[in-house]
Amino acid sequence: MTTLEIRGPLELPARREDIELRTADDLTLVGELALPESGDPVATLVTLHPLPTAGGFMDSHILRKAAARLPALANLAVLRFNTRGTTSPRGTSEGAFDGGAAEQFDVAAAMALVQERRLPRPWLVGWSFGTELALKYGRDHAIEGIILLSPPLHRATDDEVAAWASTDREVVVLVPELDDYLRPDEARERFASIPHAHLIAVEGGKHLWVGESQTRRVLTEIVAAVNPDALPLPTEWSEPV
């Protein structure tokens, strides 16, 4: 049996299903649910992609690699979807980009599917624009916590950030050392209103997390928060793909 290095576009075994989400304002959003190949997942990642007007979509590489690897490596369910007006190879979600306002209905539709499917222990995982949605709307839903990758804090207000201080939901913040928008020192000030926030400054990291070493670091920190028993994540795969 061939042993493969886990990197790039390698897709490990999982049960993958194209799904559609219906929003409260009557739009259909397209997405994918990836589940462990056998058995039930121990937790669920509901992913929120980067800014669609800047090329973000459900296949943005960190989210695509999370869905490709983590069902097999960490026994996680991974839900990805295109927010309103966003296109990927999976298709185009109805509606139009609304700057993070009407997207609250998109988050709610994803969480409704999680509830309908009885997926366990949901976490919101936002990247860039997706972190704004997690901060603004995550408290409205039954989640264990939020994981914020490269938060720019352009749309989430100081009050919306501070509101997380009054919850017991976990807040994990990954801030790249060389981010284009928010770097660790400023991030510590901006998130100081959440005493229990766990801020991780990633040395050498950049906003887009390009490269296999940065991908592995991000996926490791996600798993450390959600299912630490699965660490360390393997770097090789010897079973069929």
Report how far residue 77's alpha carbon sits from residue 75's, in angstroms, rounded to the nearest whole number: 7
Above 70 in pLDDT, residue 241? no
What pLDDT shows up at residue 239?
76
**What does pLDDT average to over the chain?**
97
Q: What would the mean pLDDT of 13-24 be, rounded to a whole number?
A: 98
Sequence-distant (6+) residues with CB within 8 A of 162 are 193, 194
Q: What would the mean pLDDT of 193-211 be, rounded to a whole number?
A: 98
What pLDDT shows up at residue 2?
84
What pLDDT shows up at residue 56?
98
What pLDDT shows up at residue 16?
98
What pLDDT shows up at residue 166?
97
Q: Beta partners for 91?
A: 88
Q: What would the mean pLDDT of 87-98 be, rounded to a whole number?
A: 98
The domain ranges of the chain are: 4-237
- In tens, the pLDDT along 106-161 reads 999 999 999 999 999 999 999 999 999 999 999 999 999 999 999 999 999 999 99
| Three-state secondary-structure class, residue 157 | coil
What pLDDT shows up at residue 117?
98
- 204 — alpha (psi -120 to 50), left (phi > 0) or beta? left
- The verdict on pTM exceeding 0.85 is yes
Q: What would the mean pLDDT of 170-183 be, rounded to a whole number?
A: 98
CATH number belonging to domain 4-237 = 3.40.50.1820
In the block, tokens 């576009």 appear at 9
Report how far residue 229's alpha carbon sits from residue 165's, in angstroms, rounded to the nearest whole number: 27
Q: What would the mean pLDDT of 216-224 be, rounded to a whole number?
A: 98
Task: For residue 122, give the nearest of 146, 143, 147 by alpha carbon.
Answer: 143
Residue 64 · residue 29 · CB < 8 Å:
no
Report how far residue 16's alpha carbon sits from residue 80's, in angstroms, rounded to the nearest whole number: 11
Q: What would the mean pLDDT of 171-177 be, rounded to a whole number?
A: 98
Report how far residue 18's alpha carbon sits from residue 221's, in angstroms, rounded to the nearest whole number: 27
